[in-house]
Structure 1
Amino acid sequence: MSSSEYSAASAPPPIAVTHAGRRTRLKWHRARRRPSDTPFTASRIVEAMRVGASVEVDLLIHAERGFAVLHDRDLAHSTTGRGDVSHASAAYLRGLTLTDNVGDPTDDSVVLLEDLATMLDGIEIADDAMLQLDFKEDAAALDDEALSIFARAVEPFADNAILSCGDADAVTALCDAAPDIHVGYDPCHRGAIGRVLHSGDFRGFVFTACRDSSRAEIIYLDQELVLRAADLIAAFHAMKREVDVYTLARADASSMARFTRLVERGADQITTDDPEGFFAEKLFANAPESERPE
Structure 2
Amino acid sequence: MSSSDDSTSSTPPPIAVTHAGRRTRLKWHRARRRPSDTPFTASRIVEAMRVGASVEVDLLIHADRGFAVLHDRDLAHSTTGQGDVSRASATYLRGLSLTDNVGNPTDDGVVLLEDLASRLDGVDIADDALLQLDFKADAAALDAAALDVFARAVAPFADSAILSCGDADAVTALCDAAPDIHVGYDPCHRGAIGRTLRSGDFRGFVFSACRDSPRAEMIYLDQELVLRGADRGADLIAAFHAMRREVDVYTLARADTSSVARFARLVDRGADQITTDDPEGFFAANIVAEATESERSD
The TM-score bracket by the shorter chain reads over 0.9
Once the two structures are TM-superposed, the CA of residue 285 in structure 1 deviates from its matched residue by 2.4
Once the two structures are TM-superposed, the CA of residue 283 in structure 1 deviates from its matched residue by 1.4
- 1:276 has 2:251 as partner: no
For 2:137, what is the secondary structure of its paired residue?
A: coil
- 1:188 has 2:198 as partner: no
2:237 to 216, 233, 239: 233
The aligned residue for residue 52 of structure 1 is 52
TM-score, normalised to structure 2's length?
A: 0.93
Structure 1 unmatched ranges of 5 or more? 1-7
| Counterparts of 2:162 and 2:151, CA distance in 1 | 13
| Counterparts of 1:146 and 1:198, CA distance in 2 | 38
The aligned residue for residue 4 of structure 1 is none
The aligned residue for residue 255 of structure 1 is 259
Q: Give the aligned CA root-mean-square deviation in angstroms.
A: 1.4
| Counterparts of 1:144 and 1:244, CA distance in 2 | 30
| Counterparts of 1:91 and 1:82, CA distance in 2 | 14
| Counterparts of 1:259 and 1:288, CA distance in 2 | 16
For 1:285, what is the secondary structure of its paired residue?
A: helix
| Paired residues for 1:156-175 under 5 Å | 156-175=156-175
1:41-96 Cα shifts (integer Å, max 9, x gaps): 00000000000000000000000000000000000000000000000000000000
1:10-38 Cα shifts (integer Å, max 9, x gaps): 62100000112211000000000000000
- 1:208 has 2:208 as partner: yes
The aligned residue for residue 27 of structure 1 is 27
Q: Percent identical across equivalent pairs?
A: 86
The aligned residue for residue 12 of structure 1 is 12
The aligned residue for residue 264 of structure 1 is 268
| Counterparts of 1:127 and 1:288, CA distance in 2 | 32
Give the direction of change, closer, same or farther, for the CA distance of 1:290–1:214 in structure 2 (3 Å limit).
Answer: closer
Instruction: Specify which structure has the bigger relative contact order, considering alpha-carbon pairs within 8 angstroms and separated by 6 or more residues.
Output: 1
| Counterparts of 1:288 and 1:55, CA distance in 2 | 29
| Counterparts of 2:72 and 2:283, CA distance in 1 | 28
Give the direction of change, closer, same or farther, for the CA distance of 1:284–1:174 in structure 2 (3 Å limit).
Answer: same
For 1:60, what is the secondary structure of its paired residue?
A: strand
1:243-290 Cα shifts (integer Å, max 9, x gaps): 000000000110000000011111000000000000011112223799
The aligned residue for residue 37 of structure 1 is 37
| Counterparts of 2:66 and 2:178, CA distance in 1 | 14
